[in-house]
Amino acid sequence: MSNTRALLISLLVSVFAVILLFIYINSREKELLEMVTPIRIVVAAKDIPEGARLDANSVELLEIPQKYVQPGAVSDQNRVINRNINVPALKGTQLLESMFIDTQAEGIAGRIPSGKRAFSIFVTDVTAVGELILPGDMVDLMVTVEVGSFQDGRGVSEEIITRTVLENILVLAVNQTSSKRRVMDAADGTQDAPGSVFSASGQAAGKKEPFKTLTVSLTPQETQILNLAQEIGTLSAALRSSWDDGKIENLPALSARELLGISKNIIPKAQPAWMEIRGAEPFARN
């Protein structure tokens, strides 16, 4: 009887071992098939900077094992040519559909927070922090006006006053760029060293568009305030730190006499005798 039980146990163990071996062989076979089954996908033929528009020289087809194909990989070159890539890609990187900007979603309306309005103001490189402001930054907006009186129907300036009218305001766009990416042709990017995606010298040198407008996100009331401020004086933007907690200072207006601590009236700075026009930008010559 004991021999029969031992035989039965041995048989069950053998069957269990065969089942485990069968499962292992099947799993290994599947892995090996995935390893040897080639899939053709599109990869970067060279280092591609963020925002570059791809052309036929930017991409190539490469066969890799199915196991190593990333989800969303593009298999047709025509699906990526003449499209702007949203992230930098090193040579050999698999190009994914999620890397590309959806041209149908480029409008700014979807970027405006609920209950806010997009409003644009005129700025220059000086009034916009040396062109260092980018979409997504937070700024304070100040207005500088001349105040005085009217004599014989003519306005006489007596004092200059600056006031911060809005604080911690979100920048939606700079000119017509509504994201931090650079939009350029693929030929604009150059590589300085292995592993670099974009060189400082290759950032579309000489093609930078001058600052003309900032588009900011405002409540309806803030829109009225900024529209009026733009009509009565000169607007300037102050860039806030990325580490700022958004504290509102509520600073009072500052006059020129208060700034200098004097009681005499301030004579406004005279306008230049003439201006030299270069392209579309005026340059004052004193």
pLDDT digits (tens, 9 = 90+) for 33-45: 556 678 889 999 9
Q: Is residue 278 part of a domain?
A: yes
Residue 7: in which H helix or E strand, if any? helix 2-36
How many distinct structural domains can be found in the chain?
Answer: 1
Task: Tell me the per-residue pLDDT of 11-66, one tens digit each, with 9 for 90 and over.
Answer: 777 777 778 877 877 776 666 655 667 888 999 999 988 778 888 899 999 888 87
Q: Is residue 200 part of a domain?
A: no
Q: Is residue 92 part of a domain?
A: no
Q: Is residue 242 part of a domain?
A: yes
Cα 242–chain centre separation: 14
Q: Is residue 257 part of a domain?
A: yes
| Full domain range(s) for residue 249 | 107-175+211-285
Burial 139-174 (b: 16+ CB within 10 A, else e): bbbbbbebeeeeeeeeeeeebbbbebbbbebbbbbb
Contacts of residue 27, Cβ cutoff 8 Å, sequence gap at least 6:
none
Contacts of residue 31, Cβ cutoff 8 Å, sequence gap at least 6:
67
Q: Is residue 153 part of a domain?
A: yes
pLDDT of residue 124: 84
Task: Tell me the per-residue pLDDT of 159-206, one tens digit each, with 9 for 90 and over.
Answer: 889 999 999 999 888 887 766 544 444 445 444 444 444 444 444 444
pTM of the model: 0.51
Q: Is residue 34 part of a domain?
A: no
Matching residue, tokens 């040198």: 205
Cβ contact 52:181 at 8 Å: no
Task: Tell me the per-residue pLDDT of 65-109, one tens digit each, with 9 for 90 and over.
Answer: 877 888 889 999 888 888 888 888 999 999 998 888 665 545 677
Matching residue, tokens 């350029």: 184
Q: Is residue 14 part of a domain?
A: no
d(CA 214, CA 230): 12
| Whole-angstrom Cα Rg for the chain | 32
